[in-house]
Amino acid sequence: MGEAVKLPMRRGFGATDRIDAWWKGPTAMAIYLGIMVVYATWRGFMEADFWLFSEFGRSAGVQTMAIENQGSHVLSPLFSPLIIPGGDGLGGPIPEFMWWMSPAMFILIFPAGFRGTCYYYRKAYYRAFFHQPTACAVSKPWNEYKGETKLLLVQNLHRYFLYAALAYLPLLSYDVWLSINFHDPVTHAHTYGISIGTLVLLLNVIMLSGYALGCHAFRHLVGGGSNDWTSSGMARLKYKLWNFSTYLNVHHKEWALYSLFWVMFADFYIYACTMDWWTDIVLWGGL
Ligand code: FES
């Protein structure tokens, strides 16, 4: 067996022969992902009635999960499907000792798990937060590399989180539908309308569809096991789906980053409207 040949690479934290600004990407990513995680956590806990958030959300007697004051129901994607612990709907069976939890806490595990195990995000946060690696041809604080072993085997759950993510798409589409249905609370008259909130939710579904349908696991699911694209209608359909997924997959990074921003923005938009900072203007129809 031959001897290991050492790469001609400088050693020491951040040492490198690179002359470009290699640190900009991981630093920007750490800031971006950090802000998104803090925001989602803050919003999730806000509706959990902690004293820390007593000026906001349910603690202050205001629900900040959905805009209701226009006669429609514009629900934040962070709280969809809406599970109110102990309520009449989906949260009815939740035992009383868990009623302190926010509706978001019951569901965020799935989108968070999907993004946390995404192939693109793994690359991004391994570099941004853990220096595994720091960057190409840049020395890192430690030298060993064990790959995705031991605890990181949990990343293999990505394909299962994909199924959950795919199930979200019709749920979030249903929220768009609810947002265009207006009901007068006094006369019970029903009509249709479109508000800015509707467009925000619609764009959210489009962005998440672009992200989920371009997922590497989805691409494999629809075409990975096939070596026949032409012999039957099903084979041709699979080929079309695989091609479409490939088309989205080329820009998976952009779909991943922009869709994350838009989910958070959609939630913030709804939060701002429920706090009366902004108004959800009805652009067409409505009451
Ligand atoms: S690889 Fe990114 S969502 Fe599946």
Closest ligand 1 atom to residue 158 Cα is 4
Q: Which residues does 105 contact at the CB level (< 8 Å), separation at least 6?
A: 44, 48
162, part of any domain: yes
The answer to whether 242 and 210 are in contact (CB under 8 A) is no
Domain-located, residue 165: yes
Is there a domain that residue 262 lies in? yes
Domain that holds residue 91: 24-285
Specify the number of domains making up the chain. Answer: 1
Q: Confirm whether 3 is domain-assigned.
A: no
In a domain, 103, yes or no: yes
Is residue 154 situated within a structural domain?
yes
Does pLDDT of 52 surpass 80?
Answer: no
DSSP-derived 3-state class of residue 106: helix
Give the per-residue pLDDT at 283.
96
- How many angstroms is it from 215 CA to the middle of ligand 1? 4
pLDDT of residue 57: 65
- Top mutation candidate among 122, 209, 220, 252 for ligand 1, by most atoms within 8 Å of CB: 252
- Indicate the average pLDDT of the chain: 90
Protein residue closest via CA to atom 2 of ligand 1? 118
Q: What does the pLDDT look like over 175-196, one tens digit per residue? A: 999 999 999 988 989 999 999 9
Cα(111) to ligand 1 centroid in Å equals 11
Instruction: Please write down the long-range contacts of 126-130, taking CB distance under 8 Å and 24 or more positions apart.
Output: 127/25, 127/26, 127/29, 128/26, 128/27, 128/29, 128/30, 128/33, 129/30, 129/33
pLDDT of residue 92: 85
* Cβ(80)–Cβ(172) below 8 Å: yes
Residue 244 has pLDDT above 90, yes or no: yes
Arithmetic mean of pLDDT, 30-35:
97
Q: Note whether residue 132 is domain-resident.
A: yes
- Report the pLDDT value the prediction gives residue 6, as an integer from 0 to 100: 66
pLDDT for res 59? 62
Residue 158 within any structural domain of the chain: yes
pTM of the shown model: 0.90
> Does pLDDT of 1 surpass 60?
no
